[in-house]
């Protein structure tokens, strides 16, 4: 089975990281720190950039050559921010360093390349997934930061207690397909990993097929697709079934063959966890149908769908209270319906983000999930067999107690976890 190798590694001394972290409290400090380095060299700059990324909790680092200089940007809490500007000479040295660490070819400049390297820091290994892409003024570099600290529990993901309980029950079911859906960057893989961590124990064999492997999980057999060697999702699923697994994680269902194979494994008595690109939970069934999967097979094998988005969490240090307007109270009541009406009956205030403080970046600190769910019982399976639309699935599921993302967003707004402005940035007008 295919697996992605880490080509190289580097170690950053803890004292070096601590030194940079004392100087870099926010993304606006990075340029000043780089300019203040005693001897500007690629190693120092690279260590400073990685230290800043880890300190700020950046998920991605972008190094982008431009006509006159090179832009350094970081994605923090889902928002891409300008961090610094470096000169062309330093950029070329850093590009060579990254290519060497990642096992990429130094003399190839006109084709995309991908690789991995690891950073040893304070007793833990942080993997960096490298993507190099030819562009107008050089090669764009994107580093995905795979810090083990980003592996979260269901509670840390932001799942409300009621959903955690239902998911615990679903994960105890030894068979059935569980889908996590949402657009790119919505945290689907992180949620799948939370499920796997909950299931990982000595009496259960878990095998994954991913593209690519994001994080390494102890006690789990993880594999990665390699189409050049014939190891596709379809071929991988066939091979995995011969490994006598109890649980199978499929990174993504992209076409009919892999979707049918995943459902087939679920119907054969395996618990299958997978992701699918849809806008909401109700869209999962029509999406599977659009891939060419038979509705009867979907109805028989699909057991649950969780759909999600990520919103930024309010900074508690600088967030500001404000009074709910009558219009907002009315709208929140309409969204929550009868199931959560008590949540708003005594609430008169919500929070808005502050301008930012020493603890945060612009009024927010970290991200949390907004979820909705559909658990398929006998009645919903009958609906699925009729080739329903998204609206028909949603209506039937809400009658069964489905919790929607808008409801979850409103509850998190009322709890002071996020803001109305942030929820509407991600979900649209509430």
What's the pLDDT tens digit per position in 87-120? 999 999 999 999 999 999 999 999 999 999 999 8
Between the alpha carbon of residue 345 and those of residues 264, 340, 341, the distances in Å are 47, 9, 6
- Residues 145 and 156 both lie in one domain: no
- Residues 176 and 103 both lie in one domain: no
Q: Write down which residue in 149, 180, 208 finishes a domain.
A: 149
- Residues 121 and 198 both lie in one domain: no
- Residues 125 and 215 both lie in one domain: no
240 in a structural domain: yes
- Residues 368 and 420 both lie in one domain: yes
What's the pLDDT tens digit per position in 45-67? 888 899 899 888 999 999 999 99
What does the alpha-carbon distance between residue 125 and residue 9 come to, in Å, rounded to a whole number? Answer: 9
Decide if 72 contacts 29 (C-beta within 8 A): no
Residue 80 structural domain: 8-149
CATH number of the CATH domain containing 80: 3.30.450.90
- Residues 134 and 283 both lie in one domain: no
- Residues 333 and 261 both lie in one domain: yes
- Residues 164 and 119 both lie in one domain: no
- The answer to whether the Cα torsion of 281, 286, 290, 293 is positive or negative is positive
Q: Write down which residue in 134, 149, 164 finishes a domain.
A: 149
What's the pLDDT tens digit per position in 211-256? 989 898 999 999 999 988 999 988 999 999 999 999 999 999 999 9
What does the alpha-carbon distance between residue 88 and residue 90 come to, in Å, rounded to a whole number? Answer: 6
Q: What angle do CA 156, 190, 184 make, to 5 degrees?
A: 125
- Residues 86 and 210 both lie in one domain: no
- Residues 120 and 243 both lie in one domain: no
Summarize the confidence of residues 352-378 as an average pLDDT: 92
3 in a structural domain: no
98 in a structural domain: yes
Residue 146's nearest CA partner among 130, 168, 128 is 128
- The token pair at 26 is 């926010």
- Residues 163 and 28 both lie in one domain: no
DSSP 8-state secondary structure symbol assigned to residue 85: E
- Residues 138 and 216 both lie in one domain: no
> Is a pLDDT exceeding 60 seen at residue 340?
no
Decide if 317 contacts 283 (C-beta within 8 A): no
Domain count, the chain: 2
> Is a pLDDT exceeding 70 seen at residue 6?
no
DSSP 8-state secondary structure symbol assigned to residue 280: S
DSSP per-residue string spanning 54-90: HHHT-SEEEEEE-SSSEEEEEEETTEEEEEEEE-HHH
Could you tell me where the DSSP H helices lie in 268-353? 284-290, 295-301, 326-336, 342-345
């Amino acid at each position: 089975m295919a697996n992605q190798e880490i080509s190289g590694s580097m170690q950053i001394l803890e004292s070096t990281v601590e030194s940079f972290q004392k100087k870099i409290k926010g993304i606006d400090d990075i340029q000043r720190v780089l300019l203040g380095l005693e001897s500007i060299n690629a190693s120092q700059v690279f260590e400073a950039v990685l230290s800043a990324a880890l300190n700020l909790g950046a998920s991605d680092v972008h190094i982008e050559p431009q006509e006159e200089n090179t832009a350094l940007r970081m994605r923090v809490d889902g928002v891409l921010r300008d961090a610094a500007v470096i000169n062309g000479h330093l950029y070329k040295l850093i590009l060579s360093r990254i290519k060497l660490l990642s096992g990429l070819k130094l003399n190839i400049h006109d084709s995309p390349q991908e690789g991995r390297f690891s950073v040893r820091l304070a007793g833990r290994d942080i993997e960096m997934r490298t993507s190099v892409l030819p562009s107008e003024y050089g090669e764009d570099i994107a580093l995905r930061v795979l810090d083990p600290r980003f592996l979260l529990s269901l509670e840390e993901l932001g799942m409300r207690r009621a959903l955690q309980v239902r998911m615990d029950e679903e994960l105890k079911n030894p068979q059935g397909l569980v889908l996590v859906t949402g657009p790119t960057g919505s945290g689907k893989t992180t949620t799948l990993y939370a499920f796997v961590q909950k299931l990982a124990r000595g009496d259960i064999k878990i095998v994954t097929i991913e593209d690519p492997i994001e994080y390494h999980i102890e006690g789990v057999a993880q594999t990665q697709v390699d189409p050049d060697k014939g190891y596709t999702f379809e071929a991988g699923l066939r091979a995995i079934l011969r490994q006598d697994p109890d649980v199978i994680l499929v990174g993504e269902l992209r076409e009919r063959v892999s979707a049918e194979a995943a459902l087939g494994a679920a119907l054969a008595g395996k618990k299958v966890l997978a992701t699918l690109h849809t806008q909401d939970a109700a869209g999962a069934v029509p999406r599977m149908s659009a891939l060419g999967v038979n509705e009867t097979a979907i109805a028989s094998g699909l057991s649950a769908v969780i759909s999600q988005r990520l919103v930024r969490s309010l900074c508690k240090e600088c967030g500001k209270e404000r009074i709910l307007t009558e219009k907002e109270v009315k709208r929140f009541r309409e969204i929550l319906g009868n199931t959560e009406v008590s949540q708003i009956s005594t609430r008169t205030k919500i929070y808005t983000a502050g301008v930012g403080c020493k603890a945060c970046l612009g009024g927010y600190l970290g991200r949390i999930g907004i979820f909705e769910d559909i658990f398929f019982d006998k009645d919903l399976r009958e609906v699925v067999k009729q080739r329903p639309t998204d609206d028909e699935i949603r209506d039937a599921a809400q009658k069964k107690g489905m919790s929607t993302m808008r409801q979850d967003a409103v509850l998190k707004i009322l709890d002071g976890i996020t803001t109305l402005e942030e929820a509407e940035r991600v979900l649209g007008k509430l």
